[in-house]
Amino acid sequence: MTLGLNLISYQGTLPALASQPAAALPGHAVVGRVSLGRGAWLGAGAVIRADGHYVRIGDDLHMGRGATIHIAHEVYPTLIGARVCIGADAVVHACTVGDDVVVERGSVILDGAKVGDGAVVEAGSIVYPRSTLEPGMLYAGRPAKPVRRLSLHEGQSRSELERARNEAGDVRWTCQPIPTGAAPDSFVAGTCDLSGRVHLAEGASVWFGCRLDGREGPISIGRLCNVQDNSVLRAGSLGMSLGDQTTIGHNVQLVDCNVGARCLVGIGSRIAPGTRIDDDTFVAGGSVTEPGQHLTGGRVWGGDPARPIGEMNEAKRAAISNIAIVYAGYARALRAGVPG
């Protein structure tokens, strides 16, 4: 089922598709320097974004609801082989993925990783940056570790099962990208769903597929703050605030919490109700907080539940500042081109 392709130009470059997708469900977005093979199946809200680098994908890609593919700006492209299946709410980021790989629902593959042909990343796992996953192996955990070698039959069965889950997913996707208040130079991608009171300060951005619920309390997004693709934010009665120059990574869940300025909440993290994240805090990808937890500033937090694993340094502070600048640039480029 193809309901009209949402192909979005970035700096004058449109995605190149080898054929019409087998499916392109509501809310999907394909952006910029993407080369996509034949027969792709794009679930509701699926995002493939190639702005700061390129994405190349082989034939028969299968993406579940709210899955995300992205790059690392001017550092890593994303290269994906043929017959790859990516489950719902999974993220494949700035890495290399071989043929016949299965990335099950809710998993995350991070920058510089290499996943061998026929490997399976079990649901909810996190592949850490620059990891190498051997061909034909099952990996699980946070970080993902080898579990056992897969038979050809088991690898095929897991791919078929994840594809069936993708195709059984909800095909509905609401696109309501209008905030209640926004600075003129802020940006909200066209496949977002904003409800209730959502306010964006100067240079703030909310990216493809994000769902922000400010009906119970307002959501305030600070100056140069960016909320990346397919993240879900739900405010409580006291509201939610995200500080200036803060980054909320792809496919993050924030529920009834507050995040300070100059923070990074890494890809796939789950931030529980009542969590308070101080200014200048780095939350590693895939982290999970406990209700009411306080993440003190000047530290790196990670794990499930999140715990201090290091101290902030100048390199991390500079990286957070640079992401804010880069995302403001992405937003300017998209505002100048075809609306998303």
280: region left, alpha or beta (phi > 0 left; psi from -120 to 50 alpha): left
Q: Tell me the pLDDT band of 337, cut-offs 50, 70 and 90.
A: confident
What's the chain look like in SS3? CECCCCEECECCECCEECCCCCEECCCCEEEEEEEECCCCEECCCCEEEEEEEEEEECCCCEECCCCEEECECCCECEEECCCCEECCCCEEECCEECCCCEECCCCEECCCCEECCCCEECCCCEECCCCEECCCEEEECCCCEEEEECCHHHHHHHHHHHHHHHHHCCCCCCCECCCCEECCCCEECCCCEEEEEEEECCCCEECCCCEEEEEEEEEEECCCCEECCCCEEECCCCCEEECCCCEECCCCEEECCEECCCCEECCCCEECCCCEECCCCEECCCCECCCCCEECCCEEEECCCCEEEEECCHHHHHHHHHHHHHHHHHHHHHHHCCCC
Task: Give tens-digit pLDDT for 45-72.
Answer: 999 999 999 999 999 999 999 999 999 9
Residue 261 above 50 pLDDT?
A: yes
User: Span 173-196, mean pLDDT?
Assistant: 97
3: pLDDT confidence band, cut at 50, 70 and 90? low
pLDDT band at 340 (very low <50, low <70, confident <90, very high): very low
Q: List Cα–Cα distances, 94 to 71, 139, 167, in angstroms.
A: 4, 19, 26
Beta bridge partner(s), residue 132? 114
CB 92 within 8 A of CB 69: yes
pLDDT class for 1, splitting at 50, 70, 90?
A: very low
pLDDT beyond 70 at 253: yes
pLDDT tens readout for residues 205-235: 999 999 999 999 999 999 999 999 999 999 9
Smallest Cα–Cα separation from 292: which of 257, 268, 260, 266? 257
Is the confidence at residue 126, as pLDDT, over 60?
Answer: yes
My answer on whether omega of the bond before 143 falls inside 30° of 0, hence cis, is: yes
Lookup: tokens for 317: 């502070």
Q: Which amino acid belongs to residue 116?
A: G
Average pLDDT over residues 4-18: 96
Global confidence as pTM: 0.97
Measure Cα distances from 245 to 90, 123, 330 in Å.
25, 31, 15
What mean pLDDT is predicted for residues 82-91?
Answer: 98
What does the pLDDT read at residue 339? 42
Note the pLDDT tens digit of each residue in 283-297. Answer: 999 999 999 999 999
Work out the pLDDT band at 2, boundaries 50, 70, 90: very low
Q: What are phi and psi of 156, to 5 degrees?
A: -65, -40
Contact between residue 176 and residue 161 where contact means Cβ atoms under 8 Å apart: no
pLDDT, position 106: 98
pLDDT in tens, 23-51: 999 999 999 999 999 999 999 999 999 99
Interval 137-163: pLDDT, tens? 999 999 999 999 999 899 999 999 999
Given a cut of 50, whether residue 331 has pLDDT beyond it is yes
Non-local CB neighbours of 302 within 8 Å, separated by 6+ positions: 283, 284, 286, 287, 309
Query: Which tokens go with 72?
Result: 């690392």
Does residue 241 surpass a pLDDT of 70? Answer: yes
pLDDT at 336: 84
User: Given a cut of 90, is residue 4 above it in pLDDT?
Assistant: no
Q: What is the pLDDT of residue 183?
A: 97
- What's the mean per-residue pLDDT of the chain? 96
| CA 73 to centroid of chain Cα atoms | 14
Percent of the chain with pLDDT over 70: 98
Answer yes or no: is pLDDT of 335 > 70: yes
- Strands lying side by side in the sheet with 102-103: 23-24, 41-42, 62-63, 85-86, 102-103, 120-121, 137-140, 145-149
Q: What is the distance of C-alpha 222 from the center of its chain? A: 20
Percentage of the chain exceeding pLDDT 90: 97
Looking at the DSSP bridge assignments, the partners of residue 85 are 62, 102
Enumerate the β-bridge partners of residue 226.
Answer: 205, 247
Model confidence pLDDT, tens digit, residues 268-319: 999 999 999 999 999 999 999 999 999 999 999 999 999 999 999 999 999 9
